[in-house]
Structure 1
Amino acid sequence: MTARAKSSSIVLPPDYRPSEDEPFMNERQRMYFRNKLLAWKDEIIRQTRETLVGLHEESTQHADLADRATSETDRALELRARDRQRKLVGKIDAALARIDDGSYGFCEETGEPIGLKRLDARPIATLSVEAQERHERRERVYRED
């Protein structure tokens, strides 16, 4: 039985929140984070569809040059935001794959648990807070060179 098939047999209460009192990344926690990630992905896809429909409907030509410039700027900003969202969907898919392979919730650098609060706030996290801070410090040092 795959992790996905096994996880789908659990029904979480609507008010369930992962707790430090239970084993880390147990079946309930994996299901909680899977549901959270899938809902986030669905919301991004819904917003993207709305954007595409809106951009298609807005493609009318403006007689006024200033209106056209404003419209093009808004369109460029919206497309840039959607591109960031598209990249985020890739990270969500990677997190879902980690849930399936059992590595979700563990720091890629240290192998230690990432922490429930961090995962709840950023379910695509791959590093613990400490490892992320080290990574950002190294990044700052190289950027300053």
Structure 2
Amino acid sequence: MDKPKMPEDSLDEREEYMNHRHREYFRNRLLNWRKNLLAQDRELRRSMRQEHLRQADLLDQGVHDAGRYQILESHLRIRCLLEEIDAALSRIAEGSYGYCLETGEEIGLKRLKILPTAKHSVEIQEQQEWRARSRRRQGE
């Protein structure tokens, strides 16, 4: 039996940060997201199994291969998201969810509503992205 879903307005920012209600809200949200991704992944794998015929025409074969490539990319994207969700669920269980892994500061309810798998505060995430862009530019 599913637990009742918590309405978004129950995430009152005036309450103690990451209290039991907040953790349950995000836990349920992550579990629902995980369930939907697993269903999508099952459907992708099912379609891959059904499309194993080789096409005689080279153009048709190219279109078919491109479609398979997109399905594989989607499968990999879902697998990465599932890993992120599982990591977030682990952080909820251990009590570190909602706090930046680098600084220990609060990530914030607004950010977590947008990206429930967030591991870093906005500031730290921006710094990491800036460093990654700088490294790419230096490698060019």
Which residue of 120, 129, 140 corresponds with 2:133?
140
Identify the residue that residue 94 of structure 2 maps to in structure 1.
Answer: 101
**Is 2:6–2:25's contact at 8 Å kept on the other side of the alignment?**
no
Shift in CA distance, 44/11, structure 1 to aligned 2, threshold 3 Å:
closer
* Aligned AA (1:100): A
2:28 pairs with 1:69: no
Of 73-82 and 94-103, more deviation after overlay is shown by: 73-82
Q: Secondary structure at the match of 1:40?
A: helix
* Aligned AA (1:91): E
For 2:121 and 2:106, locate their aligned partners in 1 and report how far apart those are by CA, in whole Å. Answer: 7
Shift in CA distance, 99/51, structure 1 to aligned 2, threshold 3 Å:
same
Alignment deviations for residues 14-34 of structure 1 (CA, whole Å, 9 cap, x no partner): 555412121110001100000
Unaligned runs of 5+ in 2: none
How many aligned residue pairs are there?
A: 136
Which residue of 30, 40, 44 corresponds with 1:37?
30
For 1:94 and 1:60, locate their aligned partners in 2 and report how far apart those are by CA, in whole Å. Answer: 38
Q: What pairs with 1:73-84 in structure 2 (closer than 5 Å)?
A: 73-84=66-77
Shift in CA distance, 95/66, structure 1 to aligned 2, threshold 3 Å:
same
**Is 2:101–2:120's contact at 8 Å kept on the other side of the alignment?**
yes
Q: 1:64: how far off?
A: 2.3
**Is 1:12–1:28's contact at 8 Å kept on the other side of the alignment?**
no
Q: Percent identity?
A: 44
Q: 1:12: how far off?
A: 4.9
2:102 pairs with 1:128: no
2:83 pairs with 1:90: yes
Unaligned runs of 5+ in 1: 1-9
For 2:20 and 2:4, locate their aligned partners in 1 and report how far apart those are by CA, in whole Å. Answer: 10
For 1:14 and 1:119, locate their aligned partners in 2 and report how far apart those are by CA, in whole Å. Answer: 15
